[in-house]
Amino acid sequence: MTVASRGRQAGGVLARLACVVLLAAAVSAVLEGVLAAHLASQAVLREARARVGADAGMLAGVSSAEDPWAAVSEALDDVTARPDVLAAWLVDSAGTVRRSGAAGAAGAADPGAWDGRTLDAASQEVVEAVITDGTPRIAPLHPATGPAGADPRSGALSLVVPVQVAGEQMALLEALDPGPPARRAADLRHALLLVIALGGAATVPMALAFGGRRLAAGYRRVARAAGTDDLTRLGNRRALHAELAGAVAEARRSGRPLSVALLEVGGLDAVRDATGRRRADALLVGVAGVLARGREGDLAFRVGGDGFAVVMPGTPTGDAAEAAEALCRRIAEQTGPLTATAGVCTLDDRCPDVETLLIGADAALLEAKHRAAGSGRALPGAVPVPSGRGLSEPDEEVWDIRLLIDGDPTHG
């Protein structure tokens, strides 16, 4: 007979705690993944802005040549010759394309074919803002839809940066192929997510390595102490209710019987008066030893000063009564001058839960005490002890547990 289930309960709480930690790590990983995707996209956008800014610097540099516009046109052709550039325009503050790159991926075959065209209103607004405050921006529409009416690649990244050409403040508008930036963003995002996933997987081991095991061991000690009687080291009343609730649920699932025995130790007052409290405590520890060495699978608890309980899974009424009688005999033999009286109740329709099981066992214990004392006094409400639930022979009358709850047989 053991009370190892208290350790299992503590382990179950720790397992739930570990699940909570893992769930928190998973939620954090998702949020970090969203943040990582945003940061990756921002990193790619910064890279694109830097490249377009470098192109604008180049255009500003070549515009100081003897024939600035010819140099600018040639530089724009070089820009659009790059595989990642779909189109490039040099636009003035009125939204007019002053120069455009030739033979780019957008399909401009004739140099200067787009020169003189006007951007759509939305792109003009962006260009004017960039020229006014000098801050690079993303164009809301693909630039080719304005000046050329071409059918550009969808999803292009359109950037507008300020540039000064031949002493005039303008804007360079480039449409970049979304493929390379998207691939770079995806690679960066995957790398960040891999780091986050590895960190999340290492959360529990790292927590255990950095004091988590000590914390878990401390929790187990506290959990065991909360459910353990200080003197006898048996489970206490709290542990009894928790264990009995689990046993009732298991009995209902499996259809196996379940019995509970309540035992009351007699003679403690006489021992205390004759030899002192320490001797009485020592005898109570002996009683606990007798109960702990009972049948395999039974669970013993101390529920009061001289009260004990034994939960008997898989045990019908008759077997439970015999087991309780055997425990009472061994207590008298091994811890004399103490004696013990027991009452048994079995799970059924009239005792369907923890509370009614304990009420029934207490009623049977009271009847056993009365009969042992030879008083013959009836139970409150003149309700006989239920058949087969006490340690005496079954009565013919049927016992109703509802009368012991509130005195009303119509209750429930």
Rounded CA gap, 242 and 227, in Å? 9
The owner of tokens 């099981």 is 357
The predicted structure's pLDDT at residue 17: 64
Least confident of 156-170, 185-199, 386-400: 386-400
Parts of the chain belonging to CATH 3.30.70.270: 231-406
The predicted structure's pLDDT at residue 112: 57
Greatest mean pLDDT range, 56-60, 175-179, 353-357, 396-400: 353-357
Rounded CA gap, 206 and 194, in Å? 18
* Residue 132: CB atoms within 10 Å: 11
Q: Is 23 exposed, middle or buried (0-12, 13-18, 19+ CB in 10 A)?
A: exposed
Q: What is the pLDDT of residues 244-254, one digit of tens each?
A: 999 999 999 99
Confidence of residue 222 (pLDDT cuts 50, 70, 90): low
For the segment 85-112, the average pLDDT, to the nearest whole number, is: 70
For the segment 122-130, the average pLDDT, to the nearest whole number, is: 86
Least confident of 44-58, 194-208, 303-317: 194-208
Residue 209: is its pLDDT beyond 70? no
The predicted structure's pLDDT at residue 393: 38
Rounded CA gap, 233 and 184, in Å? 64
The owner of tokens 């027991």 is 342
Rounded CA gap, 177 and 170, in Å? 23
Rounded CA gap, 263 and 148, in Å? 98
Residue 349: is its pLDDT beyond 50? yes
Contact 216, 14 (CB under 8 A): yes
- Coil, strand or helix at 313: strand
- Crossing angle of the two packed helices 268-275 and 277-292, in degrees rounded to 10: 140
Rounded CA gap, 360 and 388, in Å? 11
The owner of tokens 């008997």 is 312
The predicted structure's pLDDT at residue 411: 42
* Residue 380: CB atoms within 10 Å: 11
Contact 101, 172 (CB under 8 A): no
Contact 385, 364 (CB under 8 A): yes
Give me the chain's average pLDDT, please: 75
Residue 407: is its pLDDT beyond 80? no
Greatest mean pLDDT range, 123-127, 179-183, 273-277, 299-303: 299-303
Parts of the chain belonging to CATH 3.30.450.20: 64-178
Sheet holding 299-302, edge to edge: 299-302, 307-313, 258-266, 339-346
For the segment 176-181, the average pLDDT, to the nearest whole number, is: 68
Rounded CA gap, 3 and 247, in Å? 13
DSSP 85-100: EEEEEEE-TTSBEEEE
Contact 13, 223 (CB under 8 A): yes
Residue 280, C-beta contacts closer than 8 angstroms, at least 6 positions apart? 268, 271, 272
In sequence order, what E strands does 15-101 have? 85-91, 97-100
Rounded CA gap, 156 and 178, in Å? 5
Contact 174, 87 (CB under 8 A): yes
Residue 279: is its pLDDT beyond 50? yes
What kind of architecture, by CATH, is found in domain 64-178? 2-Layer Sandwich (3.30)
CATH code for residues 231-406: 3.30.70.270
- Per the model's pLDDT, the better-predicted residue between 275 and 411 turns out to be 275
Least confident of 22-26, 233-237, 389-393: 389-393
The predicted structure's pLDDT at residue 291: 92
